[in-house]
Structure 1
């Protein structure tokens, strides 16, 4: 398809295995994927030349938790409209509460499957 640009997704997680797995799943589904293993590096991707269509961030990150990252993203004009999904191995009720409190748009429980990750992503991109 000429002129088609795939949706841009940024994944933020300090676990390199999770990053690789999520990147593979989403890339194979046709998405353009960038990964960051720190919240600091993720800012270069989020506020870079191409605005992401979706951000997936782990709750348990060093220096700044994922829910704090969501709050920061939602406060900034340049990123306030970007959908953000939280991921975590926390109990689902706790993750849902963090999602609501932080202003995140949704969540994916870890360990996630190909199907659960794609369903969550697609529901926030379409």
Structure 2
């Protein structure tokens, strides 16, 4: 798909099926939604989307996930890949976490390269505000 395609592309990453389903449902009216269960899968989907020339417009990523990489590590890998590929407009990544600790938020946003942070439990308006901010 060409990057000028009008349909927005969103990725939801969470190791809990219920959280993935809820977030997917909340964003489904805004574009095409792909889901990933692990950080490694998110990195692979992101790389494939860049190769297909239909990059993601927004990624919602859980911080604490099972697997080889947690959400913060996955964000770092995505940002490193975007730098290597000289991506002109890096994808906005919003972390979703049960932790509201300032040091966790700082780690995700300032040190790992996420654009925003939403604490669980979240409500529909928080997700809507995030979508409006990053998808217009």
| TM-score of Structure 1 vs Structure 2, range by shorter chain | 0.7 to 0.9
Structure 1 residue 92, shift from structure 2 partner? 4.8
How many matched pairs? 123
Give the match for residue 55 of structure 1.
59
Residue pair 2:8, 2:56 contacting (<8 A) in 1 also: yes
Structure 1 residue 96, shift from structure 2 partner? 2.4
String of CA shifts for 1:26-76, please: whole Å, max 9, x gaps.
Answer: 11x332111111122223321222311111111001221111111111111
Give the match for residue 85 of structure 1.
94
Separation in 1, partners of 2:110, 2:20: 24
Separation in 2, partners of 1:45, 1:12: 11
- Normalising by structure 1, what TM-score? 0.86
Structure 2 stretches of 5 or more lacking a match?
Answer: none
Give the match for residue 32 of structure 2.
32
Separation in 2, partners of 1:4, 1:46: 17
Structure 1 stretches of 5 or more lacking a match?
Answer: none
Structure 1 residue 4, shift from structure 2 partner? 6.9
Structure 1 residue 22, shift from structure 2 partner? 0.5
Residue pair 1:92, 1:109 contacting (<8 A) in 2 also: no
Separation in 2, partners of 1:113, 1:43: 27
The runs of at least 4 aligned residues of structure 1 exceeding 4 Å deviation read none
Residue pair 2:61, 2:94 contacting (<8 A) in 1 also: yes
Between 1:52-61 and 1:75-84, the stretch displaced more is 75-84
